[in-house]
Amino acid sequence: MEYTVNKLAQLSGVSGRTLRYYDEIGLLKPARINSSGYRIYGQKEVDLLQQILFYRELEFSLEEIIDIINQPEFNQTEALKSHSAHLKKKRDRLNKLIITVEKTIAAREENLEMTDKQKFEGFKEKLIKDNEQKYGKEIRNKYGDETVDASNAKLRGMSQADYQAMTNLGEEVFELLERASATGDPASELAQELAAKHKEWLMYSWADYSKEAHAGLAEMYVADERFTAYYDKKVKNGAQFLRDAILIYVGMQ
């Protein structure tokens, strides 16, 4: 079975404009161009488009998808198994959020009481999901699945009070980062207070602390452009200053 752009767009729900863009960036090339100049897609391209849509549903960027499908060891069957596992996890997270919302609605309409744990379960799951989506691969490669899973379990078991305290402390870290970076000295008393607060903030989700792990995470803040962008959008050159302050801090422990 072969498809033109318009027919494949109707079949998949992806716009013709998007299919042409996928061709332009090398993500999904047509099998051939016919004598009339139309892009023609075969079964191989249809299967690949399905993979692309699965990855998009899991919020992978187009650049990440191109890297994945161009790997020599890329296997569509194994990819489908991976999609299934990730989509089931996503379904479970969404189900928890739906339950939380429905319980909140019922509590408001029927004047029922919700426990603090019930109120925040869905939000904690979203935080875990966002962290996994953005940084999970790198963090798991660096620290291992067991460490990351233990951290997620600690976060899931967090009380409302601790969750709020962690959130407040995260805001305090950024406030200190802004003030400390203005001094230009990562060894200053203010910068070392920043590093100590950063450690305190980490311990809300970390199962165990080590100087090596703290230093390794600090290095990732500079080595990984996503971490760098996260801190630098708050404070100019914030990622590097925070890294330097932490390295001095752990070196003095």
- Please give the radius of gyration of the chain, using alpha carbons only, rounded to the nearest integer: 23
User: pLDDT value at position 134?
Assistant: 66
Cα angle 172-145-167, degrees, rounded to a multiple of 5: 15
- Pick one of 3.30.450.20, 3.40.1350.10, 3.60.20.10, 1.10.490.50 as the CATH number of 159-251: 1.10.490.50
- Per-residue confidence (pLDDT) for residue 197, from 0 to 100: 95
* Nearest Cα to Cα of residue 59 among 123, 5, 152, 137: 137
Q: Which residues of the chain form CATH 1.10.1660.10?
A: 5-69
The predicted pLDDT at position 125 comes to: 67
Question: Cβ–Cβ contacts within 10 Å for residue 251, how many?
Answer: 9
What is the pLDDT at residue 30?
96
| Cα separation values, 195 from 146, 187, 204, 213, 242, Å | 25, 10, 15, 14, 7
CA distances from 216 to 135, 177, 192, 199 (A): 14, 19, 17, 13
Give the pLDDT confidence score for residue 101 in this predicted structure.
72
Kind and range of the H or E run holding 111 = none
Topology (CATH level 3) of domain 5-69? Multidrug-efflux Transporter Regulator; Chain: A; Domain 2 (1.10.1660)
Report pLDDT for 98.
77
Q: Angle at the Cα of 101 (from 132 to 57), degrees rounded to 5?
A: 40
Taking 50 as the pLDDT cut, the residues of the chain under it are none
- Amino acid 206: pLDDT: 85
Task: Classify 14 in phi/psi space as left (phi over 0), alpha (psi -120 to 50) or beta.
Answer: beta
Left (φ > 0), alpha (ψ -120 to 50) or beta: where does 34 sit?
beta
The answer to whether 200 and 172 have CB atoms below 8 angstroms apart is no
Task: Report pLDDT for 112.
Answer: 53
Phi, psi of 122 (to 5 degrees): -65, -40
DSSP one-letter string for 2-65: -B-HHHHHHHHS--HHHHHHHHHTTSS--SEE-TTS-EEB-HHHHHHHHHHHHHHHTT--HHHH
- Every domain range in the chain assigned CATH 1.10.490.50: 159-251
pTM here is: 0.47
pLDDT at 70: 85
CB distance 148 to 115 below 8 Å: no
Phi-psi region of 235 (alpha: psi -120 to 50; beta: other; left: phi over 0): beta
